[in-house]
Amino acid sequence: MKWAAVVGLYLGWLGWSPVVPATLIAFLAAAVVVLSARIVGRRQSSLPMAPFMTFGAVVAVLGTR
């Protein structure tokens, strides 16, 4: 089983309260990284989303406890 699936299953098991913040935090963190890379001048053709999903899940789980 892939890591993202395990994180998603755990968030789903906890309920909806950490799922929504985890998703928002993940996309916000990705946006910050992409915008800062563009400001600095580094152009990337692709960026993996899994690290941001993991970060958002960890922050949401620790924030709801």
pLDDT surpassing 70 at residue 1 = no
CA atoms within 13 Å, Cβ hemisphere of 34: 13
CA atoms within 13 Å, Cβ hemisphere of 35: 6
Give Cβ neighbours of residue 50 (< 8 Å, ≥ 6 apart): 3, 4
Model pTM score: 0.80
Geometric angle at alpha carbon 29, from 2 and 12, rounded to 5°: 45
Could you report the per-residue pLDDT of 35-53, keeping only the tens digit for each? 998 899 887 778 888 889 8
For residues 44 and 54, what is the distance between their CA atoms, to the nearest angstrom? 21
Could you report the per-residue pLDDT of 3-28, keeping only the tens digit for each? 767 877 888 888 888 889 999 999 99
